[in-house]
């Protein structure tokens, strides 16, 4: 199977090249990892969002490269004065993709929206438990406030809430809330193959998924009936006939493929390569502000991490500046605020703890660990803007902790397995982080609430009532200044109790050939490739 996968990858890339010249009808993107799910309702990972972004749409969208919410499958919406009733008016003439197993008989309507959401909250829905039945983004960001989604008419859908949610409209731009065809779900259920609904997803987006080989490639074809071309969103329409993701885990290999034009866009470059990239003929290095969290999380419901003195000792024993110099290399600066400086609600009054291994040793002795202890340290296996090199960072932390008697065994897994095991609560100390998928501080702050433990996003298992109450209150308040104040207070609570160490406030970069047209770095959710073309 391994040799077959390699052959398929070579074949796919050969299709993108013609005698060494790039075909203008194919865009090859070197990306870093396989998606852990092809239907992003089932996950909170950007590798999955990058797939759903191409093949599906949401009721509302985020402008490409920006932070403004714009109409998507819903051409308009209204909100009741009490903030509990949302009505979305759907576009007409939106076509679904088809396959050898399914041919749609109608355009998008309210039934598709109701199905896409009821699957996530209604335990009686026949798809609720299909493909594992976990919906982490829904459980954290929409589910707590949502009462129901109902059909009003063919082109009208109502969302009714239990409590107001100031972040709801922004949250609905995330790829996890894509709209999928209810007809397709019914057909696969009747055929006895409901899992194919998620394994071979069909949406309304600019590209249609044609082939997936794990750790090798994803291939998409242009969807000729994409509604956006004539429906008010031409910037998202496919400008190439084929889009290929060449899954290339090593950032230096991605750079090498970019240099030889095997791919025209290479994602998540290593900061160490940026100076060379900027001086390499034919290569462009776009950069953009990024709202991201980079954290080392401690499992606070287990000894010895249940002791705040141990957590503080581990935090101040890490030479964060050395990590920033060696790993981030100019792409990150020290911070103690969970909310990054690129996003409103950032607490600029917090300052990082000083590196102090001598004090750390004293704290461990006071906590009853004068000779230290042993623990596993989980390192993320993929390159991210919030963590350019998980292994190297883990090695630096390992060396720092050894100085205070703490022995760290570095653990890692393939990306999908890493995420699954981490969500299941297996990690005692783990790297974690993420980029905001919509421009509201609540998104990643919610990961640290008591309610987020059950869904697996709160990997610290930290349950602080003061913190959780502040986050809950901020989502009900509509005044942005008041919300920002509540978020800043919540960050004070996090910083004082240390369920995790915030490592860096980061910048985001991409790399591409100078023949690429129409590409904009987009760090809020999945990266769109609609609208991107190659010079002929």
- Give the Cβ contact number of residue 192 at 10 Å: 8
Identify the CA nearest to 216 among candidates 31, 26, 21, 22. 31
Report whether pLDDT(248) > 70. yes
Q: What's the pTM value of the predicted model, to 2 decimals?
A: 0.83
Question: What was the pLDDT predicted at 209?
Answer: 98
pLDDT tens digits, one per residue of 487-529: 999 999 999 999 999 999 998 889 999 999 999 998 888 999 9
More confident residue, 343 or 88: 88
Q: Looking at the DSSP assignment, which residues form a beta bridge with residue 60?
A: 71
List CB contacts of 257: < 8 A, sequence separation 6 or more.
30, 246, 248, 263, 266
pLDDT tens digits, one per residue of 436-488: 888 889 888 999 999 999 888 899 999 999 999 999 999 888 888 999 999 99
Question: What was the pLDDT predicted at 18?
Answer: 43
Question: What was the pLDDT predicted at 523?
Answer: 83
Q: State the average pLDDT over residues 164-186.
A: 96
Q: Looking at the DSSP assignment, which residues form a beta bridge with residue 243?
A: 27, 220
**E strand or H helix at 184:** helix 182-190
DSSP conformation letters of 387-447: BS-HHHHHHHHHHHHHTTT-EEEEE---HHHHHHHHHTT--SEEEEEEE-SSS-THHHHGG
**What are the domain boundaries of the chain?**
1-45+205-286+510-536, 57-201, 289-506
Structure tokens at 255: 């750079």
The fraction of the chain above a pLDDT of 90, given in percent, is 81
CATH number for the domain running over 1-45+205-286+510-536: 3.40.190.10
Report whether pLDDT(334) > 90. yes
Question: What was the pLDDT predicted at 282?
Answer: 96
| Matching CATH number, 289-506, of 3.30.1330.10, 3.40.50.300, 3.40.50.10420, 3.10.105.10 | 3.10.105.10
More confident residue, 263 or 385: 263
Question: What was the pLDDT predicted at 6?
Answer: 37
Question: What was the pLDDT predicted at 3?
Answer: 39
- What is the Cα–Cα distance from 248 to 32, expressed in whole angstroms? 5
The domain defined by 57-201 carries CATH number 3.90.76.10: yes
The fraction of the chain above a pLDDT of 70, given in percent, is 96
List CB contacts of 201: < 8 A, sequence separation 6 or more.
38, 39, 52, 55, 56, 180, 209
Report whether pLDDT(5) > 60. no
Question: What was the pLDDT predicted at 229?
Answer: 86
Q: State the average pLDDT over residues 182-204.
A: 97
Report whether pLDDT(387) > 70. yes
Report whether pLDDT(45) > 70. yes
Question: What was the pLDDT predicted at 288?
Answer: 82
As a 3-state breakdown, the chain gives helix, strand, coil percent values, each rounded to 5, of 35, 20, 45
pLDDT tens digits, one per residue of 402-442: 999 999 999 999 998 999 999 999 999 999 998 888 888 98
Identify the CA nearest to 392 among candidates 257, 256, 272, 266. 272
Q: State the average pLDDT over residues 184-204.
A: 97
Instruction: State the chain's mean pLDDT as an integer.
Output: 92
Report whether pLDDT(17) > 60. no
Question: What was the pLDDT predicted at 24?
Answer: 66
Report whether pLDDT(102) > 90. yes
């Amino acid at each position: 199977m391994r040799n077959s996968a390699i052959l398929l990858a070579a074949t796919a890339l050969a299709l993108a090249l013609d005698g060494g010249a790039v075909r203008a009808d194919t865009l090859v993107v070197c990306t870093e990892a396989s998606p852990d799910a092809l239907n992003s309702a089932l996950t909170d990972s950007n590798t999955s969002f990058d797939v759903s972004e191409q093949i599906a749409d949401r009721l509302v969208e985020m402008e490409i490269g920006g932070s403004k919410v714009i109409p998507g499958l819903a051409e308009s919406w209204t909100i009741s004065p009490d903030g509990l009733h949302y009505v979305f008016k759907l576009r007409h003439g939106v076509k679904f993709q088809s396959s050898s197993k399914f041919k749609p008989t109608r355009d998008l309507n309210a039934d598709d929206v109701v199905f896409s959401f009821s699957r996530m909250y209604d335990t009686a829905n026949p798809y609720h438990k299909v493909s594992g039945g976990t919906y982490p983004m829904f459980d954290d960001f929409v589910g707590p406030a949502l009462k129901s989604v109902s059909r009003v008419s063919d082109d009208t859908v109502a969302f009714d809430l239990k409590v107001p949610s100031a972040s709801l409209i922004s949250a609905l731009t995330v790829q996890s809330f894509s709209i999928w065809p209810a007809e397709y779900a019914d057909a696969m259920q009747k055929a006895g193959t409901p899992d194919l609904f998620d394994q071979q997803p069909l949406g309304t987006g600019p590209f249609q998924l044609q082939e997936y080989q794990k750790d090798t490639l994803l291939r998409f074809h242009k969807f000729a009936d994409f509604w956006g071309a004539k429906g008010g969103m031409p910037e998202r329409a496919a400008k190439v006939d084929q889009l290929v993701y060449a899954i290339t885990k090593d950032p230096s290999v991605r750079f090498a493929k970019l240099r030889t034009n095997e791919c025209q866009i290479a994602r998540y470059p290593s900061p160490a390569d940026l100076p060379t990239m900027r001086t390499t003929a034919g290569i462009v290095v776009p950069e953009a502000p990024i709202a991201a969290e980079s954290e080392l999380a401690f499992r606070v419901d287990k000894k010895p991490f249940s002791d705040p003195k141990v957590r503080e000792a581990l935090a101040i024993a890490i030479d964060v500046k050395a990590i920033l110099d060696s790993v981030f290399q100019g792409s990150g600066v020290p911070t103690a605020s969970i909310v990054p400086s690129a996003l409103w609600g950032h607490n600029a009054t917090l300052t990082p703890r000083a590196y102090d291994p001598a004090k750390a040793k004293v704290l461990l002795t006071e906590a009853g660990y004068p000779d230290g202890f042993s623990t596993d340290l989980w390192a993320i296996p993929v390159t991210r803007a919030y963590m350019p090199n998980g292994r190297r960072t883990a090695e630096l932390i390992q060396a720092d902790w050894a100085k205070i008697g703490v022995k760290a065994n570095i653990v890692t897994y393939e990306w999908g397995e890493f995420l699954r095991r981490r969500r299941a609560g297996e990690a005692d100390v783990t790297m974690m982080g993420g980029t905001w998928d919509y421009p509201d501080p609540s998104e990643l702050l919610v990961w640290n609430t008591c309610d987020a433990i059950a869904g697996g996003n709160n990997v610290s298992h930290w349950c602080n009532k003061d913190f959780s109450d502040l986050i809950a209150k901020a989502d009900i308040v509509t005044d942005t200044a008041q919300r920002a104040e509540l978020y800043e207070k919540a960050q004070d609570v996090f910083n004082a109790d240390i369920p995790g160490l915030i490592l860096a406030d980061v910048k985001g970069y991409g790399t591409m050939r100078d023949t690429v047209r129409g590409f904009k770095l987009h760090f809020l959710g999945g990266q769109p490739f609609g609208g991107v073309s190659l010079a002929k």
